[in-house]
Amino acid sequence: MNNWPAKWRRIRALTLKETRQVLRDPSSIAIGIVFPLMMILLFGYGLSLDVSRVSVAVVDEDASTDSAALVGAFRLSPYFRVTVADSMAEAKRMLDRKVDGVLSIPSDFTRRWHLGEAEVQILVNGMDANEARIMQAYAQGPIAQWSAARAGSDALISAGPVIVTDRMWFNENNNSHYFLVPGLIVLVMTIIGAFLTAMVVAREWERGTLEALFVTPVRAGEFLVSKLLPYFGLGMIGFLLCLTAGQFLFHVPLRGSLFLLCLASMIYLMVALGIGLLISTLVKSQFLASQLAMLLTFLPAMMLSGFLYDLRSMPAFIQGITYALPARYAVALMQTLYLAGNVGSVVWLNLGVLAAMATVLMVLTRLATRKQLS
Amino acid sequence: MTTPASSPALRLDAVCKSFCRETGESVLALDNISFSVGKGELAALVGPDGAGKTTLLRLLTGLMKSDRGIVSVLEIDAAKDPQAIQSRVAYMPQKFGLYDDLTVQENLDLYADLHGITAEEKRRQFADLMEMTGLDPFQKRLAGKLSGGMKQKLGLACTLVRTPELLLLDEPTVGVDPLSRRELWEIIRRLVKDGMTVLMSSSFLDEAEGCERVLVLNEGKELAEGPPAEVRNMALGRTFLAQPPQGMKARDFQAQLLAEPDVIDAVPEGGQVRLVSQARSGGSQSTTLARTTARATPARFEDGFMVLLDQAGGAKQTYTEAVQPEKPLGDSRHESVVEVRNLVRHFGKFVAVDHVSFSVKRGEIFGLLGPNGAGKTTTFRMLCGLLPASEGTLTIAGTDVRRNRASARQHLGYVAQKFSLYGQLTVGENLDFFARAYGLGGEKKRERIAWAISQFKLEPFILLPSAQLPGGYKQRLAMAAALLHRPEILFLDEPTSGADPFARREFWQRITSLAAHGVTVIVTTHLMAEAEYCDRAAILDNGKVLAQGTPAELRAHASGPAGHSATMEDAFIAIVLEGRGKPAAKPGAAQS
């Protein structure tokens, strides 16, 4: 009974059937292809945690060469777009809508600078606290640059102020795409793997197609393999979309090996598929399965994986929970491979955990799938 | 009873199976059942809903395990090696698992690959199956787009891609029109002739008549086992055809007869009433019967079945109470309440309804009969104002439906094919909702809901979510909801599809009573025996009315086998085939 040619033929036939269903079902194409594309574009262009080209109004009441040099430093900075305002009153009016901040150089600027106590005023629109804070920090750059230049050219002032230079490791430009793209891969895999497959077995239970299918030579294992293959393919397409977008759209550097990145994605995809199939096999209702998949996989992958929010800033209790979430390991793995490179200790530990999870889930799903009705 | 001498194709020995309901109580679905079917036999499982037919088939396929007893199929123990059985038998479940998003050909290919048949076998078998099922022109069509009868045939074809040793069919003819039903039977009979063993379940008792062996089940218990003639003989000498008294409709007379304690069963048939009496000929006869002439008629399987159930103590249920008068009839008997003239409906280039005309008088029961896809449901939807008509006139209770849908709807109640109930709402909440939807409120609403609950005996279920109602009660609730606003006209779309003989009799009892009190009823059905309850009926095919008239007039279209009058089913098939320009096949072929 257990002859392999017949077994392969059954698996092939079921996989073909499943693939046809995927291709003909607009909703699985929507989730499998359109959704990753949307996520890439949304996260890539819509959601950026950076502030760039901040428009700032400059009120130069000093109108000296020194103040003009400071304004020039702001003009040269890639983070600011400078508009000149004639008076403070006008600048404040602009703050309402046109500009995000105001740089005010008082009339006694040059005089006081020679005394070593020069001050400039920066007004920031605090409506978006995050942006305001970032802008405040950015403003230090041109000012420091200017004061360094002045210090160098003016031998009279020997002891200039100490300049702190930050260097951001792994993400030198502090570009949020750098950590969003690796996380996006995890999110897309979660949706395709868990959310889509959560419905596939439940759908067969609901439509009664399993009862006829089970009274054939098909074995439960063959049935499961045929469910995995097409969605694995779909998941890898999603992965490739993210990879391509990361390389060519957002120019995220890939410092680790491509091979390891692919391997990590495949293993995480198996985990996601395992969760989806297990849910589907156990609940036997499409609606319930999709709700469960949403709650157990997608939302945690978004909130608790380190994709958007730093895990270390969470309460210890929540941090504890994240250790049970496969997405946590996957995000750590992807971010490391992308931004740090093949850091052996991190990569192998996370890969190992994911592989173990995938194995356990597959075994559980196989045990839960019985050719029985009750 | 006799067991075949050679080793049987399947055997059950003292099998028990129980289930746990959600409420925790245990239900005995099969109680000590022993049954066997010999190789090459055609056997049937018959019984009302909940008799245990599906459970028995699932035990045979190894999809369920028995609690006690031995289930052996092709000499394999189902408890020990279900996979071996599943690899060798073919099984068509009630809700056959076709993949709607695959084409006819793809569905067949899938099952061919699963069964591992060789390419050469496949070619030969496919040609055969295509010819047998008439699916050849539809190979590239998605299974989801096939009509009900076609789907059933495709389901059967999928189970037959490899000639199995044993074929198990669970109610293969439910929801299938008479024409397709006959075609399905021709296929089954051919398979048996070629040596296949077939076991099918059915709640259509006429189908058991053509089998070699039957097992009659009721509430998990075996009532009879053996050749169908044995069951039929239970009614020997007890079956009569009675002429209704002058001026009385057959269905009203039938209703009276059913109320008699010594009448086991009565159904209208060709303007007369066919009845099964408790006493054999010459014994005491009921007072109603004494008023008329009754002559003996040969017994059928269904009659014997009714006698069996009567002896088991559960046959005739108290479905004799009448629904109370709604509106005084007066002299309005002859006014026509539904007028349909040259009704047309296009869907793109497809003409679903093609110049259909009929009129129905107050208090009449009018049947719309026709194969799947004939345009019955489309006509209904236009009548209810759910779908705009392309052409023609539609008048309901004097209101032009095409101009004034809302006020036309006030006059009618509609029970859709799948009973539009809210499964998660309780029976009481459903009634409350529908009453409000019809604009009833306050005292009026309370009064109508109380009426519905008492008329349809829904009291015990008032707090049960309607999804959990037993089948027959869902239909009652759907009807109750449709009658809350006292409509003059009731539209029923295949209300008895899938119902067992008792549920069907009870349903018609209510309809008869409603009509007697002036409610006009338009109904579609696949069961031609039910057309006998109608005053008049129209037979539709491809959107056209092929014939219209009283059941007796329609029957006159077909001549029965020598000595017998044609059944309504014969007439239907003859009319449809004639309409399609095919020679009318010999009548009576659907049975025996």
DSSP string, B93-135: -SS----TTSBHHHHHHHHHHHTT--HHHHHHHHHHHHHHHT-
Cβ within 8 Å, pair A210-B87: no
Name the most confidently modeled range: A38-42, A270-274, B292-296.
A270-274
A143: domain CATH number is 3.40.1710.10
- B158 contacts in A (CB within 8 Å)? 212
Give one DSSP letter per residue of B154-187, joined into a string.
Answer: HHHHHHTSS--SEEEEESTTTT--HHHHHHHHHH
Q: Are residues A232 and A262 in the same domain?
A: yes
Determine contact, residues B493/B376, Cβ cutoff 8 Å: yes
Question: Do A60 and A207 sit in the same domain of this protein?
Answer: no
Lowest mean pLDDT among A218-227, B272-281, B287-296, B335-344: B287-296
Determine how many CB atoms are found less than 10 A away from the CB of residue A63: 12
Same domain, A39 and A65: no
Q: Taken in order B150, B155, B158, B164, is the CA torsion positive or negative?
A: negative
Q: So what's the pLDDT on residue B1?
A: 43
Residue A168 domain-assigned (yes or no): no
User: At how many degrees (to 10) do helices B148-159 and B119-133 cross?
Assistant: 150
Q: How close does chain B come to A223, measured CA to CA in Å?
A: 11
CB contact under 8 A, B113 and A213: no
Which part of chain B is CATH 3.40.50.300? 10-226, 332-411+489-579
Q: For the residues B561-575, what does the mean pLDDT come to?
A: 74
The reply to whether residue A20 touches residue B155, judged by beta carbons under 8 angstroms, is: no
In a domain, A62, yes or no: yes
DSSP-derived 3-state class of residue A181: helix
Does B200 score more than 90 pLDDT? yes
Same domain flag for A27 and A61 = no
User: Is residue A104 within 8 Å of A62, Cβ to Cβ?
Assistant: no
The nearest alpha carbon in chain B to A23 belongs to B101
Q: Which of B540, B124, B182 is nearest to B355 (CA)?
A: B540
pLDDT recorded at residue A19? 92
- In the chain, the amino acid numbered B357 is S
Q: A211 and A185 in one domain?
A: yes
pLDDT reported for residue A173: 58
Same domain, A63 and A93: yes
Token reading at B104 = 């006819």
Mean per-residue pLDDT for A39-57? Answer: 73
pLDDT at B214 over 70: yes
> Domain B236-311 carries which CATH code?
3.30.70
Co-location of A77 and A96 in the same domain:
yes
Dist. CA B173–CA B190, nearest whole Å: 16
Phi, psi of A103 (to 5 degrees): -110, 120
- Its ipTM equals 0.76
- Find out whether B350 and B311 touch, Cβ atoms under 8 Å: no
Chain mean pLDDT for chain B: 83
Distances in Å between the Cα of B259 and the Cα atoms of A52, B55, B244, B509 are 89, 34, 15, 11
Contact B275, B242 (CB under 8 A): yes
- If one compares A204 and B558, the residue with the highest pLDDT of the two is A204
pLDDT at A153: 57
Residue B559's pLDDT is what? Answer: 66
Please state which architecture CATH assigns to domain B332-411+489-579. Answer: 3-Layer(aba) Sandwich (3.40)
Does A347 reside within a domain?
Answer: yes
How does strand B166-170 pair with strand B89-92?
A: parallel
A347: its two tokens: 């990569």
Specify whether domain B10-226 bears CATH 3.40.50.2000.
no
Of the candidates A10, A212, A218, the beta carbon closest to that of B93 is on: A212
Q: Is residue A13 less than 8 Å (CB to CB) from chain B?
A: yes
pLDDT for res A49: 57
Q: Do the domain assignments include residue A266?
A: yes
Q: Find the CB nearest A21 among B63, B97, B101.
A: B101
Q: What is the largest CA-CA distance in chain B?
A: 73
Whether residue A230 is predicted with pLDDT greater than 50 in this model: the reply is yes
pLDDT at residue B565 in the model: 64
* A101 and A242 belong to one structural domain: no
Compute chain B's Rg from CA coordinates. 24
- pLDDT tens digits, B127-185: 888 887 888 888 888 988 887 778 888 998 898 888 888 999 998 888 778 888 888 88
A225 touches chain B (CB under 8 A): no
Task: For residue A70, name the pLDDT band (cuts at 50, 70, 90).
Answer: confident
Question: In the prediction, which pLDDT does A356 show?
Answer: 96
Of A1, A208, A217, the CB nearest to B97: A208
What is the three-class DSSP state of A338?
A: helix
Check B63 against A372: CB less than 8 A apart. yes
Residue recorded with tokens 């003016």: A154
- Give residue-wise pLDDT tens across range B529-554: 888 899 999 999 888 999 999 888 88
A195, A32 in Cβ contact below 8 A? no
Examine the domain organization and report whether A190 and A144 are in the same domain. Answer: no
Please indicate, yes or no, if residue A354 is contained in any of the structural domains.
Answer: yes
Closest by CA to A151, choosing from A140, A141, A162, is: A162
Name the most confidently modeled range: A120-129, A312-321, B495-504: A312-321
Confidence band, pLDDT 50/70/90 cuts, at residue B590: very low
- Among A119, A153, A187, the domain-final residue is A153
CA A334 to chain centre: 10
Contacts with B62 from chain A: Cβ below 8 Å: 215, 371
Closest residue of chain A to B117, computed from CA coordinates: A6
The whole-angstrom separation of Cα A113 and Cα A118 is: 4
Hey, what amino acid is at A365?
Answer: T
Q: Which two tokens stand for residue A282?
A: 């156990």
- In percent, the amount of chain B with pLDDT more than 70 equals 89
Q: How far is A207 from chain B (nearest CA, A)?
A: 7
The answer for residues whose C-beta is within 8 angstroms of residue B228's C-beta and 6 or more apart is B44, B208, B209, B211, B213, B214, B301
Note whether B453 and B431 are within 8 A (CB): yes
Alpha helices in B134-278 (DSSP H): 148-159, 178-193, 205-209, 228-232, 250-259
Quote the pLDDT of residue B167. 93
**Closest to A109 (Cα-Cα) out of A139, A69, A79:** A69
Which of A1, A208, A374 comes nearest B93 by C-beta?
Answer: A208
Q: Within 10 A of A259 (CB to CB), how many other CB atoms are there?
A: 9
At residue A129 the predicted structure's pLDDT band, cuts being 50, 70 and 90, is low
Per-residue pLDDT at A162 exceeds 60: no
Best residue of B54, B59, B76, B115 to probe chain A, by most A CBs closer than 10 Å = B115
Beta carbons within 8 Å of B263's beta carbon, 6+ residues apart? B257, B275, B276, B277, B278, B286, B289
**Which pLDDT tens digit goes with each residue over B232-241?**
888 888 888 8
Percent of chain B with pLDDT over 90: 17
Q: Which domain holds residue A62?
A: 54-153
| Residue B520 banded pLDDT, cuts 50, 70, 90 | very high
Number of structural domains (chain A) is 2
Contact B83 A25 (CB under 8 A): no
| Domain-embedded: residue A169 | no
Q: Are B48 and B501 in contact (CB under 8 A)?
A: yes
* Structural domain contains residue A159: no
Do A265 and A214 fall within a single domain?
yes
pLDDT of residue B534: 92
Task: Give, in order, the Cα–Cα distances in Å from A217 to each of A2, A5, A213, B162, B164.
Answer: 10, 13, 9, 12, 12
Nearest residue on chain B to A207, alpha-carbon basis: B97
Residue A158: burial class (beta carbons within 10 Å; 0-12, 13-18, 19+): exposed
pLDDT-based confidence at residue B4 (cuts at 50, 70, 90) = very low
- Average pLDDT on A338-366 reads 90
Chain A hits for B111, Cβ within 8 Å: 216
Per residue in B455-488, pLDDT (tens digit) is 888 888 888 888 877 767 888 888 888 888 888 8
Q: Could you tell me whether strands B68-73 and B76-77 are parallel, antiparallel, or unpaired per DSSP bridges?
A: antiparallel
d(CA A81, CA B590): 88
> Cα–Cα distance between B12 and B35 in angstroms, integer?
5
Q: A220 CB near a chain B CB, below 8 Å?
A: no
- CA B66/CA A217 separation, integer angstroms: 21
Least confident range of A119-133, A316-330, B256-270, B374-388: A119-133
Q: Indicate the range of A131-140, A317-326, B108-117 predicted with least confidence.
A: A131-140
> What does the mean pLDDT of chain A come to?
82
Residues of B in contact with A204 (CB under 8 A): 97
Phi, psi of B283 (to 5 degrees): -75, -170
Residue A163 lies in a domain: no
Residue A348: CB partners within 8 Å, gap ≥ 6? none
A372 with B65: Cβ contact below 8 A: yes
Cβ–Cβ under 8 Å, residues B41 and B213: yes
Q: Which two tokens stand for residue B403?
A: 């101009």
Asked if the model's pLDDT at residue A323 lies above 80, the reply is yes
